[in-house]
Amino acid sequence: MRRFATTADLGINVGADTTADLLRGATLGMFATMLDLHTVPHYQTSFLSIPIDAPEELPIIFLNHLLYLFGAKGLVPLSFPLIEISKNMIKAGVGWGKVSPDTKFLGNEVKAVTYSMFRWEHTPGKRHRLRIVFDV
């Protein structure tokens, strides 16, 4: 994961061999811009299902859903032992952390995952690449 600067936003580039690994990397990259993930205590492991109406927007939908769970419940996805992707659904096993008084915040607050400069290259048989921008 490599960061890049934009005006009033923060972006990351992620590369991976599979879509599942790309989602893992983008998720950890997004949360690592906000928190020292080593200071987030493990909370629970559970399964998550997210409907996908527009498959070409899968990374944005996935990350915004995780961002909602962070804002609403203080949940931080720390690991994904399983991610299954179909045309209209993502199912994931998630090892969640939960924000605690010992959690170290790094000063960035991601408010939303945006469509600005969004680029997802996912040609079968080739390395997946994602460029995504966060509203901070």
| Strands ordered across the beta sheet of 42-51 | 42-51, 89-98, 75-85
Q: Which long-range contacts (CB under 8 A, 24 or more apart) does 20-24 make?
A: 20/80, 20/83, 20/84, 20/85, 21/128, 22/59, 22/122, 22/128, 22/130, 23/58, 23/59, 23/62, 23/80, 23/83, 23/90, 23/92, 24/80, 24/83
Kindly list the averaged pLDDT for each block of 10 residues, start to end, along the chain of length 136.
75 94 96 97 96 94 97 97 91 97 94 94 87 93
Whether CATH 3.50.50.60 fits 15-108: no
* pLDDT value for 112: 94
Domain boundaries, the chain: 15-108
